[in-house]
Chains A and B, each alone.
Chain A
């Protein structure tokens, strides 16, 4: 009868310590612990102060860090001791000491797997080990990620190990697949995948940040499985969006514009830059000779801009010359653009067109567009099953834009309505996104028509995008939208002559500033309340016609005279 023993039964009950006894015991224990901790802390600080770097210091910090791994000073002290040992001890001794350190760290991680100090120290130790065992570290990461696949400390450490030990990217790719299979709600894995794919299967045409097209296709399938299984999980949708995206456009000068009359030259870049920064290296050659000019943005508020303007010194453009050539070297001549202004022409430009560059859609091969078409079909199918799912609707819109922005214009707008209904919290975001797509379409249409007129009236636009693409536009109609402001970016429309912006909710005209050719502005039925709000217009030299009907500002006393004072050039004021 191995186990029958006399237990203390009291009235037939097993006698067990009461909670008060337990609590008291715990309290005493804690008090004791605190005393010991404080004493060791003092001892550590004393040692560090007097620069005593010995094993006792290791032992003392070990006790303290074992209990609280977030005590960064102590980790530093430990590293100092090891650095000291590096000089003193043989590699074998050091190796043994650091191996001991690793097992100590492992114990720390078991208690607290999310301590910055512990993880950093572990990386440091491995970098200082004479012969580090990377495979073992990778195994440790595997284990900890199994316990918590979202431990970003561990992910960071894993990337460190992978880079140090030259684990192949394809192995890591396989690892992310394993984690995704066991639980696909894992941003870390998906993201890691997006960084690995371009390295394992680089795309030769699109540059380093994108993966090869064929591989992307199998990825579509993987992620489709995820969002059909759980369409409410965002991680898969985000990854899908990455798949649908494409490489950032290269930094280039997309347009060079010269105006004879204005004696100005305007550059439009593919993305906002600052040409005034010392590293910018922007040089202008006029008739093959470098010319020192002063560059400015279209609006004083813009420091970083896609559009840069310079006034040419008087005499640079000579009526007598049959032609002037203008050439731009950007980034040490890596990027160049050139245009010629012939005699008798008032302006000249050279640019990439949005339609040629497929600016607003993914760069698609024929093969891929059939795949995208089938992706669109399956998403539509999912949307029928899950009409409420916003991620699905949003993806449908993105797919449609990737495939044929103009062809799907009607459908896209319809889906935006569904989207706003499904997620009213973000309706303003969706409005802005929709505006962006509407403007993109308008730009495309304008370019196909080869005009310099853009009509965005009655499009329910809430914000303006891609204004750098509208550099050459002379007439713009923004009437009957939901715009609240003409922001500083509007000043990029350097050729704008006529602007209609009736029936909006405009409170200011900040962007109508320094527009050299602006002659006529119509702002009927808006919300402009103060004369001061119209001040930017004063910097438009040619402004002659201004319509302010239906604005509160017209009710201001002395409105007419005040305005005449502010805008003496305006001959025709309708109010």
Chain B
């Protein structure tokens, strides 16, 4: 919506479209509150967003440049009335640092590389769409050349990296949290025939990694190919998974927001042990089929996991070890080294220092999530994590919430007497009054913070041409500290690495990358393209760490854990403070039960439509580049064999009837 037509009065104003903000927006709108939801970016999700490859390249550009002064900002001082004072907000995002890009794929002579099928026009229109960022046009009107230049630069700089330095950094980092290696095998989400023929690679609809690999070898993948195929995958800024029985899945089902999204089950979990990447047997079927375990180990593992399922019922088994670490407990249980590794790093995923009960609880949680949607406890949104905030936004819009992207807030207007925030003034100089204000942490100016409460997350996104399972490395180092999320497309594999930062992302993660992949161009498995960046983790900040009016609430950005529990908890708690007597996200009614003011035609289009086409009813009419891409994706998706998991209907594993 163009800012000119915005109403000037709202009950709840929400700044930032990350996960917690979007959940609060949906919850408020659902109970009939008048909600305005804005974001400074042209896309939904903030640091939770997912991009196509070219979208990611634009994002990189944006975050490589220094935050510039917004000199075009309209004057706001005249909007402040007597008895009021202003609190300035950040209009630029400073949460992403140390962005580094490396390209190892061969460059070819094509001058103008861009995603196939993406209309140049769309980029342009998105740039000229009503917004406030004056720099958009120059950076985006010819993305191909820009990207090319970037890549050449970084390739030149890559040999200068000091292996010794990165070594020490990574080992220091090895004392931190967040173990586990996960792999996601997404099968073939896309299989557009025309693209395949042009690039000369044989199309294989088989999801088996082996056949994928032979495909990859047939032809060296060039950078232009990645860009061309870039529309086929979405890259998450924040790499997260949904626990099948976790709070996010519960909320999605409870609120009926799940109907807007589709999910895939993570098919296998890998771990790196003794220099090898192995599959972790976590379900009964996995244990049965596993070739790495002896039958005795199978029994031990199953016995231990069965115990963990209801460990509270058997206090005698663990109470003596309550004050010992989980690792010691596993040793006491006489599990073999192999099994200890699996349980500790891949199933419980707790740190070395975690106590027995914490490890048991984590293991129990993992096991309880198994079998609901498949063989692993994890789900993943079909079009990336960026889907989830958008789904909540959509729910908000369905119940009357108003959306405005590329719309930043300059300052809060605070009543000097009540010390409450009465209104905000946006970047177009308009004054919008509100009763409650929710802002994402990155919008809060440093002056309003009491000390720096932030941690950092190190992230790496790798595009590779080979599955991790086939990867072999002769180094005897373990990779327990990192999360590797992993998906494969027809010819590319995407690897996500996440860990709490101790240095820059490159320093933290490059050793792991070199362990997993040989960066030698001639090697069989290689990284084609790599992106490193640090993201601010504001999840530790508490309400008392901000100097803000009492009716202003701050949501944190993504944290480094695997699930999204923190965000859900935060959203629910903020909603509870706003409306203590209201239910949090009650189920949305069935479309046919909603009574509309207008005629029936309108009712049919109420946004409760089939979840298969989530993009057609996006709660925003402004041209966002992803929107177009995802629409195309939905269309190709229909021709494939992928059967997406639907949350509401998939829980049939428990009701098998006996013959």
Query: Which residues of A does B touch, CB under 8 Å?
Result: 1-9, 12-17, 22, 147-150, 152, 181-184, 187-188, 224-226, 228-231, 378, 381-382, 385-386
29 sample A-B contacts, Cβ–Cβ < 8 Å, listed by A number: A1-B403, A1-B621, A2-B618, A4-B401, A4-B619, A6-B596, A6-B598, A7-B400, A7-B596, A8-B596, A12-B31, A12-B32, A12-B33, A13-B31, A13-B32, A14-B589, A16-B594, A148-B657, A181-B288, A184-B288, A224-B295, A225-B288, A225-B295, A226-B288, A228-B295, A228-B299, A229-B288, A385-B299, A386-B303
Q: Mark B582-598, 1 if CB is under 8 A from A, else 0.
A: 00000001000111111
Question: Is B517 in the interface zone, CB < 8 Å from A?
Answer: no
In angstroms, Cα B298 to Cα A224, docked, is 10
Is B659 within 8 A of A187, CB to CB? yes
Question: Is B399 in the interface zone, CB < 8 Å from A?
Answer: yes
Is B32 within 8 A of A14, CB to CB? yes
In angstroms, Cα B659 to Cα A152, docked, is 7
Question: Is B164 in the interface zone, CB < 8 Å from A?
Answer: no
Residues of A within 8 A of B289 (CB): 181, 225
Nearest chain A CB to B658 CB, angstrom units: 7
Residues 264-319 of B contacting A (Cβ, < 8 Å): 284-285, 287-289, 295-296, 298-300, 302-303
Residues of A within 8 A of B477 (CB): none
Given A14-B594, A22-B593, A231-B299 in contact, is the A3-B607 Cβ separation under 8 Å?
A: yes
Question: Is B227 in the interface zone, CB < 8 Å from A?
Answer: no
In angstroms, Cα B303 to Cα A386, docked, is 9
In angstroms, Cα B399 to Cα A181, docked, is 47
Residues of A within 8 A of B658 (CB): 150
Q: Count chain B CB atoms within 10 A of each CB in A17, A149, A386 and give the residue with the most.
A: A17
In angstroms, Cα B289 to Cα A100, docked, is 41
Residues of B within 8 A of A229 (CB): 284, 287-288, 298-299, 302
Given A4-B397, A5-B606, A378-B295 in contact, is the A17-B595 Cβ separation under 8 Å?
A: yes
In angstroms, Cα B43 to Cα A481, docked, is 86
Is A14 within 8 A of B284, CB to CB? no
Residues of A within 8 A of B31 (CB): 12-13
Is A228 within 8 A of B589, CB to CB? no
**Smallest CB-CB separation from A11: which chain B residue?**
B32
In angstroms, Cα B288 to Cα A282, docked, is 53
Residues of A within 8 A of B228 (CB): none
Contact of B621 among A2, A149, A183 (CB under 8 A): A2
Residues of A within 8 A of B656 (CB): 148-150
Is B597 within 8 A of A7, CB to CB? yes
In angstroms, Cα B280 to Cα A464, docked, is 52
Question: Is B402 in the interface zone, CB < 8 Å from A?
Answer: yes
In angstroms, Cα B400 to Cα A228, docked, is 57
Ranked 9 nearest A-B pairs via Cβ: A12-B32, A228-B295, A3-B397, A16-B589, A6-B597, A229-B288, A228-B298, A17-B593, A228-B299
In angstroms, Cα B283 to Cα A230, docked, is 12
Is B296 within 8 A of A381, CB to CB? yes
Contact of A184 among B285, B602, B617 (CB under 8 A): B285
Contact of A7 among B33, B299, B594, B620 (CB under 8 A): B594
Nearest chain B CB to A146 CB, angstrom units: 10
In angstroms, Cα B594 to Cα A13, docked, is 11
Nearest chain B CB to A332 CB, angstrom units: 41
Residues of A within 8 A of B401 (CB): 4
Question: Is B253 in the interface zone, CB < 8 Å from A?
Answer: no
Residues of B within 8 A of A150 (CB): 656-659
In angstroms, Cα B31 to Cα A188, docked, is 51
Residues of A within 8 A of B652 (CB): 147
Given A4-B402, A16-B589, A378-B295 in contact, is the A181-B285 Cβ separation under 8 Å?
A: yes
**Smallest CB-CB separation from B302: which chain A residue?**
A229
Nearest chain A CB to B440 CB, angstrom units: 22
Residues of A within 8 A of B607 (CB): 3
Given A9-B32, A183-B285, A228-B298 in contact, is the A3-B595 Cβ separation under 8 Å?
A: no
Residues of B within 8 A of A224 (CB): 295
Question: Is B1 in the interface zone, CB < 8 Å from A?
Answer: yes
Residues of B within 8 A of A385 (CB): 296, 299-300, 303
In angstroms, Cα B298 to Cα A229, docked, is 5
Q: Mark B1-19, 1 if CB is under 8 A from A, else 0.
A: 1000000000000000000
Residues of B within 8 A of A8 (CB): 594-597
In angstroms, Cα B658 to Cα A187, docked, is 10
Residues 591-643 of B contacting A (Cβ, < 8 Å): 593-598, 602, 606-607, 617-621
In angstroms, Cα B394 to Cα A149, docked, is 38
**Smallest CB-CB separation from A180: which chain B residue?**
B288
Residues of A within 8 A of B606 (CB): 5
Is A7 within 8 A of B399, CB to CB? yes
**Smallest CB-CB separation from A16: which chain B residue?**
B589
Question: Is B398 in the interface zone, CB < 8 Å from A?
Answer: yes
Residues of B within 8 A of A386 (CB): 299, 303
Q: Mark B403-429, 1 if CB is under 8 A from A, else 0.
A: 100000000000000000000000000
Residues of B within 8 A of A381 (CB): 296
Residues 151-210 of B contacting A (Cβ, < 8 Å): none
Residues of A within 8 A of B399 (CB): 7, 14
Residues of B within 8 A of A12 (CB): 31-33
In angstroms, Cα B33 to Cα A531, docked, is 95
In angstroms, Cα B219 to Cα A259, docked, is 89
Is A230 within 8 A of B302, CB to CB? yes
Residues of B within 8 A of A181 (CB): 285, 288-289
Nearest chain B CB to A209 CB, angstrom units: 23
In angstroms, Cα B607 to Cα A300, docked, is 82
Residues of B within 8 A of A148 (CB): 656-657
Residues of A within 8 A of B1 (CB): 1
Q: Count chain A CB atoms within 10 A of each CB in B288, B299, B596 and give the residue with the most.
A: B288
Nearest chain A CB to B613 CB, angstrom units: 13
**Smallest CB-CB separation from A18: which chain B residue?**
B593
Is A4 within 8 A of B595, CB to CB? no
Residues of B within 8 A of A16 (CB): 589, 593-595
Is B596 within 8 A of A5, CB to CB? yes
Nearest chain A CB to B260 CB, angstrom units: 12
In angstroms, Cα B394 to Cα A484, docked, is 78
**Smallest CB-CB separation from A3: which chain B residue?**
B397
Residues of A within 8 A of B298 (CB): 225, 228-229
In angstroms, Cα B403 to Cα A182, docked, is 46
Nearest chain B CB to A33 CB, angstrom units: 18
**Smallest CB-CB separation from B653: which chain A residue?**
A183
Residues of A within 8 A of B33 (CB): 12
Is B296 within 8 A of A228, CB to CB? yes
In angstroms, Cα B306 to Cα A230, docked, is 10
Residues of A within 8 A of B620 (CB): 1-2
Residues of B within 8 A of A15 (CB): 594-595
**Smallest CB-CB separation from A13: which chain B residue?**
B32
Q: Count chain A CB atoms within 10 A of each CB in B1, B303, B652, B656 and give the residue with the most.
A: B656
Nearest chain A CB to B145 CB, angstrom units: 34
Contact of B299 among A2, A9, A182, A382 (CB under 8 A): A382
Residues of B within 8 A of A14 (CB): 32, 399, 589, 594
In angstroms, Cα B618 to Cα A182, docked, is 39
In angstroms, Cα B602 to Cα A7, docked, is 10
Contact of B284 among A1, A17, A230, A231 (CB under 8 A): A230
In angstroms, Cα B659 to Cα A149, docked, is 10
Nearest chain A CB to B624 CB, angstrom units: 13
Q: A8-B594, A14-B32, A385-B299 are in contact. List 7 more A-B contacts (CB 8 A).
A: A1-B620, A3-B607, A8-B596, A12-B31, A14-B594, A150-B657, A229-B288
Residues of B within 8 A of A147 (CB): 652
In angstroms, Cα B398 to Cα A9, docked, is 13
Residues of B within 8 A of A183 (CB): 284-285
In angstroms, Cα B617 to Cα A184, docked, is 44
Nearest chain B CB to A511 CB, angstrom units: 40
Residues of A within 8 A of B657 (CB): 148, 150
In angstroms, Cα B32 to Cα A15, docked, is 11
Given A8-B595, A16-B589, A16-B594 in contact, is the A2-B619 Cβ separation under 8 Å?
A: yes
Nearest chain B CB to A140 CB, angstrom units: 16
